[in-house]
Amino acid sequence: MQHRKFIDKNARILFNPELLPSAPAELFERLGLLQAAAPRLLHRGSVLFFTHNDTPMVFKHYHRGGLLSRLVADTYCRPAFSPEQPPRMWQEFNLLATLRQWGLPVPEPVAARCLETSPLTYRGDLITREIRNARTLATRLSQTALSAAEWRSIGQTISRFHALQVCHADLNARNVLLDDAGHSHLVDFDKSVIKPVNQTQCWMQDNLARLRRSLNKLLCTDSGTHYRDADWQHLLQGYETAGPLPALELGVKRKSF
């Protein structure tokens, strides 16, 4: 994917000209006005679904987490805007573009905006193409049980990412999507990285442990959640028996982000 840059006053935008051929700043401004008019549409962990140029898209505004979010909701320290230190929404845009090139099931990036709010701070947003007819793993489990094959498919998908050293920073039941065809996808790659090949592999187990904790948390919150220990064993079976990567993925040079 060949992306372009757009700079206008305090806005710096990366965008995919195939999906957003013109006026990327105007689109972000319209979405910003919608967010301001109905702030509950976008809070931490939520996204806004919309259609632009007949293409279903997803808008995410970056929010801080943890205790610091009580003081600073969505403002970050301004980077040098060098290739070595891009703003975090540009990092996620570029990472998604690379993962798409490798054939991994992630959303297609449309545009990423960094809005300078002062000489030292910025806010940001990301627009991706919507994965159609997909629901989060958490939503699916609140409605019905998954088959053993679906759990194994999730494990195989995670294994594909790990085989290419992709570490998801927040692998949980809300960042795994399942579509109507039974295919699984990963979303929300903020602060995610591609690990060096020679680095210790303990982060892979940490990824899996994080996902398992989120599933157990769902069950603790709602005893009606359709998740049992046997389901996790099916996921591990898929993870451990995932087949070889396609030749295209093996042939693409890896790099760290």
Catalytic residues: 170
Which pair of tokens denotes residue 67? 């205790």
For 182, the 3-state DSSP assignment is coil
Token reading at 215? 């599933």
Q: Report the amino acid identity of residue 221.
A: T
Comparing C-alpha atoms, which of 111, 113, 79 is closest to residue 96?
Answer: 111
3-class secondary structure, 120: coil
Radius of gyration (C-alpha) of the chain in whole angstroms: 19
The Cα angle at residue 63 between residues 32 and 184, in degrees rounded to 5: 95
Q: Is 106 left (phi over 0), alpha (psi -120 to 50) or beta?
A: beta
* Distance in angstroms (rounded) separating the CA atoms of residues 108 and 185: 12
CB count, 10 Å around CB of 122? 24
Cα–Cα distance list, 62 to 77, 90, 181, 191 (Å):
13, 12, 30, 11
Asked whether 161 and 211 are in contact (CB, 8 A), the reply is no
Q: What Cα–Cα distance (Å) separates residue 92 from each residue in 76, 108, 125, 215, 228?
A: 15, 11, 10, 25, 33
Distance CA 40, CA 251 (A): 44
